[in-house]
Amino acid sequence: MSDTKTSEMRFLPIIGLCLLFPLLRMFGGEMATGTPFTALESAFLIPLIPMVIFPVIAILGQMNHGDEAWRERFKEGGMIALCTLAISLSLTIWLAIEFFTKGSSFEDPLRASVFNWINFETITQDAAGNWIHLKSDSLGVGLWIDNVSMMLLFVASFLCFLICWFSLGYMNTDPVNKDRNHRFYAEFVLFTAGMLGMVLADSFLWLFIFWEIMGLCSYLLIGFYYERPSAAYAAKKAFLTTRVGDVFLLIGLLMLYDIYGSLEFAVIFGDPSLHGTVDVNMLRWALIMLFIGAVGKSAQFPLHVWLPDAMEGPTPVSALIHAATMVNAGLYLVARFVPFFDVTGHGHGVEGLGDVAILIAWIGGITAFMAALIAFVQNDIKKVLAYSTMSQLAYIFTGLGVALWFYNHGEHHAAVIAFGASMFHLFNHAMAKGMLFMASGSVIHEMHHAHHGSHDEMDPQDMRNMGGLAGKLPITSTAMAIGSASIIGIPLIGGFWSKEGIVAETWNAAALHGGTWLLVPAFLILLTAGMTGFYMTRMWMMTFAGKPKTVYADKVHEHTPWIPTPLITLSVISLLGGFALAVLGATHWLGEAEAFGTAIHEHGLVFAILDTIVHAFLPTDMFLFLITWVAISISLVVGPAMAMRIHGGRLKSGESAPRLISWILPLSSKFGRTQVDDLANSGLADALHRRLYFDELYDWAIGKTVIPLAYALSWFDKNVIDGAIKGIEWGSQKISGDVRKLTTGRPSDYIMMAVIGTFSILILLWGVI
Amino acid sequence: MFGNPLTILTLGPILAGFAFMLVAWAAPPSKRKEISQYIRLLIFAFSLLLLSLSTLMFLESYSGISWTSLALNEYVYDNCANAEIAIEAGGCSLVDGFGVSWHVGVDGLSFPMVWLTTLLIPISMLVEWNAKKGAQFHSLILMMEGALIGVFVSLDLFVFYTFWELTLIPMFFLILLWGGENRKYAAQKFFIYTFTASVLMLLGILVMYYFTRVPVWDGNLTGRAFDITLMASSSNTLGSAFLGGFGMQKAVFLLLLVGFAAKMPSVPVHTWLPDAHVQAPTAGSMLLAGVMLKMGAYGFLRIAVELLPGAMVHYQLLLIVLGMISLVYGAMVCLGQTNLKRMVAYSSVSHMGLIFIGIATMQPLGIAGAIFMMLAHGIISPYLFAVCGAFKHHYHTLEIGSMRGIAKFSPWLGGHMMAAWMGSLGLPLMAGFVAEVAIMIAFWMAFGWWVILPALTLIITAAYYLWSMQRTIFEGGDEGQLPDSLHGDEPVDVSWHENAGMFILAVFAIVLGVLPFIFFDMMSSYSNEFVTEVLLDVLNEVMP
């Protein structure tokens, strides 16, 4: 451990210096223009610096391959990456300070234009059918920072920084990665650039551009262990599946451009109804197209198949890209739909888009349920988390769908709460799930380490090989418990505050505001709340409770540097952050830009806390009261208790869990035991193991149609099209052979031909002239 | 006449190439190797000189040219501006009797191609720095540069056609003398195929020549001229009457289309391309894909579209169908290829389809996107072929699937393959994406939901590129799997000069993807001038 500390401490001053980057930038502005640069003027650097550092790390790493100093001092590029992310984080915080001091919000976002990407002109047909010049236009690059993007910007840069920190421990101490970590860090910073750029973009076009950059990094990082066929396959699958969504997103952009003549938020959000003249049908299709893109990126049904396989990537990648940031891109895109739907008098939305909102909620509900169901039978710790991610993202989609539905039905207050709760859940989920993946990484890392050197086959990710780790991995097990509690929605912890909001508002819309079509998603996500309690508890119990199931699990201990710090940081945020932000009014701030802490300011802290609790637990409406308590009881009691009956148990004698969670283990053995072997061998379990056959269906469809068609066409090209050319070739050779026979060698024949030739030329000339 | 920088760019490399070739040929055998080294350096320096010349021509701060404010039919570095008067005065006439003149000039359509050519020549030399018989090889490439630039700058159809055919000769020899196992067949096929198509184009050009009436000047026996600017003015003033009626216009358009489509190439006249590419040496492939294919697209725009807009509007559907088939069919055929270079060659067919589609949208944006596609593809496809060349050179095979895990043995090669492949599948922030977005926006405005077809092609494109990477540089386990063609030799990474050449291409692909306006704006202004000055009238009046 002492070694650990020095290793981290040695680098702390450098990271600290990087955090002071904004001062340098202000000073630079002072030197250059006489006035210090503002945070907004520096915001373009947030994605730009990582983007520029990407080739630096990649090339330096390749050139210093195997060099000792590069490995130790630079951590194979890890230190450069961490410093870069520290700079981005510091700029983000600086921007946040400016954002709050200026009082910016949805109506008054921080905006800056950077340059015109392309300039061009368009023509069109006027009413009379004449073609006329339409306009000169340009696609520009700029920044747009309102509440949602500010929140997401912070989440992204903060988590990127922490997960990079974690990676220094996780990646660099694993001999498998030796001498190729530079690739990891290079792609990591490129990903950061993509994510931060997407959040900052001021137009749908640049949102899409950075969206694709993230897709590339996801592909590269899933395939980090490219020599494994499964990783190479998973990477390809992830890219192609999201590409299907992206293509529809692109079509959506084309439609938006056609409708609005621009892709910039400022223009489109200015008046999405175009003074009421917009073609609703066209807009509806455009939004559906955009939504398909979001479905692909956020791994929702039916384009969800790539996410579980994406766990082939190193665990920090799963934590960052496939849990905390990139998969939120789809949510962010859907959150940008609000102005189209808002007919509550606060915006200029378009009426009649309720069906799109219902579609979004349905996809969310189906995915939430389906993913939770599949998570029941997963034995790979990362796969459980992957399905959990899918399920929780689906919650947010449902919440957003409900929010959009409310917006489109003129219910401003309910819409704001639903929207704010969804965005708040995004925050809570990102923090908790990022941490859960890091904690699972810690488990895997230590399992792997314990197994290192032995000759047996053992999958360090399989929970059936674990068990009883709570005493051996105190920090990890505590972090995992807190993260799971946040995801389950245990009252007062993290995700509870937002998840209750989503469930309650969905039922509110479905049952109290006549949204009959929303009943199905409402039922599904209520059910999923209990299922979440089950599979998260099951995961924790299988990993940490009971007796060790293998000899390796018995040898595990926590010792890797760099890993605990981010876990502790995020544990604190998950444990207390949700409550603190709820009291501060995060939901309202995210929903309608009511200033932070209004309630505290007006009524004092104690009142604000009480008010928040009362709102959450004792809604005035009896129906919502019932729903709230059903949700709490099934997620807090029913789900976990069932999981404990199957997988719970005390630790090996002589070991004790850390104090914060030590009460769980004795409790878990009190519920008795259930044997589930019959169920585990049933057809349903088999179907779930095979992921409800989606992968097989898609593989079959591609393998039986596209690939054979491709081979058939290439045969056709070679033999029919080129064959025709070859036929001409052969024919002309034959003709020339025949013509050659005309050279008989007799003078009389030649004179004859000369005469014919002369006549023909004369006739031709006569004809032409 | 000969002080014009465009003349220097055209004739300079041809003459220099001849001179270097002669020196290399005449060198005494004992010193041949040494002299060859020097010649190679000199040729490279000369090509860099030409690159700096074209770059200076481009920089507004240096040349003072505002590229975005050129009117239609206004060319810069025009040695014969106001051709009617100038030719009569004998300023730029080559053959008085037939109205052939040395008329050069560039605008927003042709200049990017000229610059691209001057860029690609030194890079392709760099990539094949150690070619056998280097002096001759590099002199041929230099001659090629002159011929290619000649195609792009000449504003006289006779000279245009001359250069057009002239480009075949160095390429023919590059394939024949430096090509792969089946080079004889490929060289002949390449030559005869494209030559045949060009003859049809020549027929079209002659008909246009026949119908171009110009004021007779002293010494002009035919009363006609090959000058494009003169043809353009008569086509503008006479409207559909040009070429003696709309029927004739359409016939000429079709003749030209065959010639240009074969060069681009478009389905169904594309089969020369895979054979030529697979057999050609790396530098030859790079120039073939990078510049020669663009000749087809350029000629189509400059001659067929600009001079016969009525026929273009009439055949809009044909263009769309040709483009669509090339795009979709080309991509599907790519998916079925087992040879890396063949796959890349077919991907060119697929991408060139987008050019037809962009033009057929008749939107300034779509046409500008098509022109940008020429530039973007001109940078990315040489990159692709450089990667293929490296495979051929270091692993002696191009069979996809005969090797696994190459990224382990050749990390630089793996990285370049990733970058090039991504660029070609239309990754944002690389040049190809700009063209795709521009064309697709315009496509939606023109044809609506048909956009599904090009959009689905984007998925197929991603599929074949990713699949080919999976089966070459990825997989293979901890040991990897080397191809049999290596015969157990130690695998090596790309050499420094290949690496340098590919890096430059990567940088330009990214710079043009991030800051596309550098070239896009001049293309946009050209296409806008053409559409607003000519096409709108044609759409509204000439066409019923």
Contacts of B368 in chain A (CB under 8 A): 120
Contacts of A139 in chain B (CB under 8 A): 437
Say whether residue B364 is in contact with chain A using an 8 A CB cutoff: yes
**pLDDT value at position A2?**
40
Beta strands in B120-272 (DSSP E): none
Contacts of A213 in chain B (CB under 8 A): 427-429
Q: What is the DSSP pairing of strand A110-125 with strand B100-101?
A: unpaired
Which B residues, 317 through 336, put their C-beta within 8 Å of a C-beta on chain A? 329, 332-336
Domain that holds residue B343: 315-544
Chain centroid to Cα A107, Å, comes to 27
Q: A216 vs B335: CB contact, 8 Å cut-off?
A: no
**Dist CA A588 CA A331 (whole Å):** 18
Say whether residue B216 is in contact with chain A using an 8 A CB cutoff: no
Integer angstrom CA distances of residue A128 from A122, A125, A132, B310: 18, 8, 10, 21
Mutation test of the interface with chain A: which of B69, B335, B404, B527, choosing the one with the most A Cβ atoms within 10 A? Answer: B335
The letter for the amino acid at A373 is L
What is the mean pLDDT of the segment spanning B454-466?
93
**Dist CA B331 CA B328 (whole Å):** 5
Residue B189: both structure tokens together: 């096929």
Distance between A130 CA and the closest CA of chain B, angstroms: 6
Q: For residue B138, tell me if it sits in a domain.
A: no
Instruction: Give the three-class secondary structure for B432.
Output: helix
Inform me whether the pLDDT recorded for A230 exceeds 60.
Answer: yes
Say whether residue B313 is in contact with chain A using an 8 A CB cutoff: no
Residue A251: both structure tokens together: 């079509």
Mutation test of the interface with chain A: which of B189, B333, B404, B469, choosing the one with the most A Cβ atoms within 10 A? Answer: B333
- Which residue in the set A209, A247, A258 is minimally distant from B428, CB to CB? A209
DSSP string, A364-405: HHHHHHHHHHHHTT--BHHHHHHHHHHHHHHHHHHHHHHHHH
Mutation test of the interface with chain A: which of B193, B316, B332, choosing the one with the most A Cβ atoms within 10 A? Answer: B332
Identify the sign of the CA torsion B511, B515, B521, B527.
positive
Whether the CB-CB separation of A495 and A528 falls below 8 Å is answered with: no
**Dist CA A214 CA A193 (whole Å):** 8
Contacts of B408 in chain A (CB under 8 A): 227
Structure-model confidence comparison of residues B368 and A37, the more confident one: B368
pLDDT in tens, B46-69: 999 999 999 999 988 788 888 888
Inform me whether the pLDDT recorded for B384 exceeds 90.
Answer: yes
Residue B284: both structure tokens together: 């030859």
Which residue has tokens 């410093």?
Answer: A83
Paired strand residues for A139: A118
Q: What is the DSSP pairing of strand A131-145 with strand B100-101?
A: unpaired
Residue A594: both structure tokens together: 């009511």
Mutation test of the interface with chain A: which of B444, B456, B510, B541, choosing the one with the most A Cβ atoms within 10 A? Answer: B444
The letter for the amino acid at B533 is E
Q: What is the rounded average pLDDT for all residues in chain B?
A: 88
Whether the CB-CB separation of A607 and A438 falls below 8 Å is answered with: no
Whether the CB-CB separation of B121 and B142 falls below 8 Å is answered with: yes
**pLDDT value at position B541?**
72
Inform me whether the pLDDT recorded for B1 exceeds 60.
Answer: no
Distance between B225 CA and the closest CA of chain A, angstroms: 17
DSSP string, A603-622: H-HHHHHHHHHHHHH--SSH
**Dist CA A421 CA A427 (whole Å):** 10
Task: Show Cβ contacts of residue A5 under 8 Å, excluding neighbours closer than 6 positions.
Answer: A561
Residue B273: both structure tokens together: 């391309």
Q: What burial class does residue A36 get, using C-beta atoms within 10 Å of its C-beta: 0-12 exposed, 13-18 middle, 19+ buried?
A: middle
* Closest C-alpha among A219, A236, A376 to residue A692: A376
3-state secondary structure B472-522: CCCCCCCCCECCHHHCCCCCCCCCHHHHHHHHHHHHHHHHHHHCCHHHHHH
Contacts of A205 in chain B (CB under 8 A): 437
Task: Please count the structural domains in chain B.
Answer: 1
Q: What is the DSSP letter of A264?
A: B
- Residue B217 — pLDDT band, cuts 50, 70, 90? low
3-state secondary structure A649-702: CCCCCCCCCCHHHCCHHHHHHHHCCCCCHHHHCCHHHHHHHCHHHHHHHHHHHH
- Which residue in the set B332, B478, B536 is minimally distant from A123, CB to CB? B536
Neighbours of A501 (CB within 10 A): 25
**pLDDT value at position B502?**
95
- Residue A330 — pLDDT band, cuts 50, 70, 90? very high
Ramachandran assignment for A691, one of left (phi > 0), alpha (psi -120 to 50 degrees), beta (any other)? left
* Closest C-alpha among B462, B347, B342, B470 to residue B401: B470
Contacts of B480 in chain A (CB under 8 A): 227
pLDDT in tens, B386-445: 999 999 999 998 999 889 988 889 999 999 999 999 999 999 999 999 999 999 999 999
Distance between A537 CA and the closest CA of chain B, angstroms: 36
What is the percentage of chain A residues whose pLDDT exceeds 70? 98
Q: For residue B503, tell me if it sits in a domain.
A: yes
DSSP string, A128-147: TS-EEEEEEEEEEEEEEE-H
Q: What is the phi/psi pair of residue A222, to 5°?
A: -60, -40
What is the mean pLDDT of the segment spanning A260-267?
90
List alpha helices for A75-180, DSSP H: 78-102, 147-170
Mutation test of the interface with chain A: which of B269, B459, B504, choosing the one with the most A Cβ atoms within 10 A? Answer: B459
Distance between B332 CA and the closest CA of chain A, angstroms: 5
Distance between B253 CA and the closest CA of chain A, angstroms: 20
Contacts of A714 in chain B (CB under 8 A): 332-333, 335-337
Residue A337: both structure tokens together: 């739909």
Q: What is the rounded average pLDDT for all residues in chain A?
A: 87
Paired strand residues for A118: A139
Structure-model confidence comparison of residues A118 and A66, the more confident one: A118
Identify the sign of the CA torsion B113, B114, B115, B119.
positive
- Residue A750 — pLDDT band, cuts 50, 70, 90? confident
Inform me whether the pLDDT recorded for B367 exceeds 90.
Answer: yes
DSSP string, B9-70: HHHHHHHHHHHHHHHHHHS-GGGHHHHHHHHHHHHHHHHHHHHHHHHHHH-HHHH---GGGP
List alpha helices for A223-346, DSSP H: 229-260, 265-270, 280-297, 306-309, 315-319, 329-335, 338-341
Q: A717 vs B441: CB contact, 8 Å cut-off?
A: no
Instruction: Give the three-class secondary structure for B1.
Output: coil
Say whether residue B250 is in contact with chain A using an 8 A CB cutoff: no
**pLDDT value at position B237?**
45
The tally of CA atoms less than 13 A away on the side-chain side of residue B479 is: 3
Q: What is the DSSP pairing of strand B93-95 with strand B100-101?
A: antiparallel
Instruction: Give the three-class secondary structure for A225.
Output: helix
Mean pLDDT highest for which of A283-297, A490-504, B50-64? Answer: A283-297
Q: A121 vs B524: CB contact, 8 Å cut-off?
A: yes
Q: For residue B450, tell me if it sits in a domain.
A: yes
Which B residues, 168 through 187, put their C-beta within 8 Å of a C-beta on chain A? none
**Dist CA B198 CA B218 (whole Å):** 32
**pLDDT value at position A614?**
82
Q: A722 vs B271: CB contact, 8 Å cut-off?
A: yes
Q: What is the DSSP letter of A595?
A: P
Q: B428 vs A118: CB contact, 8 Å cut-off?
A: no
* Closest C-alpha among A186, A169, A179 to residue A84: A186
What is the C-alpha R_g of chain B?
A: 23
pLDDT in tens, B78-99: 887 776 666 666 667 787 777 8
pLDDT in tens, B317-347: 999 999 999 999 999 999 999 999 999 999 9
**pLDDT value at position B240?**
44
Distance between A324 CA and the closest CA of chain B, angstroms: 23
Nearest CA in chain B to A712: B336
pLDDT in tens, B525-534: 999 999 988 8
Torsion of Cα atoms, A35 then A41 then A46 then A47, to 10°: -140
**Dist CA B376 CA B415 (whole Å):** 20
Whether the CB-CB separation of B232 and B75 falls below 8 Å is answered with: no
**pLDDT value at position A163?**
93
**Dist CA A626 CA A639 (whole Å):** 18
Q: For residue B78, tell me if it sits in a domain.
A: no
**pLDDT value at position B213?**
67
Which B residues, 418 through 477, put their C-beta within 8 Å of a C-beta on chain A? 418, 422, 427-429, 433-434, 437-438, 440-445, 451-452, 455-456, 458-460, 462-464, 466-467, 470, 473-477
Instruction: Give the three-class secondary structure for B450.
Output: helix
- The angle at the Cα of A321, spanning A320 to A325, to the nearest 5 degrees, equals 80
**pLDDT value at position A767?**
56
Q: A119 vs B520: CB contact, 8 Å cut-off?
A: yes
pLDDT in tens, B145-202: 999 999 999 998 999 999 999 999 999 999 999 988 888 888 888 888 888 888 899 9
**pLDDT value at position A245?**
94
Q: What burial class does residue A745 get, using C-beta atoms within 10 Å of its C-beta: 0-12 exposed, 13-18 middle, 19+ buried?
A: exposed
In chain B the first and final C-alpha atoms are separated, in Å, by 44
Q: B365 vs A209: CB contact, 8 Å cut-off?
A: no
Task: Show Cβ contacts of residue B181 under 8 Å, excluding neighbours closer than 6 positions.
Answer: B279
Q: For residue B344, tell me if it sits in a domain.
A: yes
Q: For residue B521, tell me if it sits in a domain.
A: yes
Element (H, E) at B368: helix B364-395
- Which residue in the set B444, B470, B520 is minimally distant from A118, CB to CB? B520
Q: B440 vs A250: CB contact, 8 Å cut-off?
A: yes
Residue A2: both structure tokens together: 């002492």
Which range has the worst mean pLDDT, A417-431, B202-216, B379-393?
B202-216
Q: What burial class does residue B59 get, using C-beta atoms within 10 Å of its C-beta: 0-12 exposed, 13-18 middle, 19+ buried?
A: exposed
Q: For residue B105, tell me if it sits in a domain.
A: no
Say whether residue B206 is in contact with chain A using an 8 A CB cutoff: no
Q: For residue B37, tell me if it sits in a domain.
A: no
**Dist CA A661 CA A161 (whole Å):** 28
What is the mean pLDDT of the segment spanning A199-215?
94
Which B residues, 269 through 288, put their C-beta within 8 Å of a C-beta on chain A? 270-272
Ramachandran assignment for A124, one of left (phi > 0), alpha (psi -120 to 50 degrees), beta (any other)? beta
- Which residue in the set B412, B443, B536 is minimally distant from A62, CB to CB? B412
Q: How many CB pairs under 8 A join A and B?
A: 174
- Which residue in the set B189, B405, B524 is minimally distant from A119, CB to CB? B524
Whether the CB-CB separation of A516 and A465 falls below 8 Å is answered with: no
**pLDDT value at position B241?**
46
Whether the CB-CB separation of A468 and A655 falls below 8 Å is answered with: yes
List alpha helices for A693-744, DSSP H: 694-701, 707-716, 722-740
Whether the CB-CB separation of B80 and B87 falls below 8 Å is answered with: yes
Nearest CA in chain B to A768: B210
pLDDT in tens, B132-141: 888 889 999 9
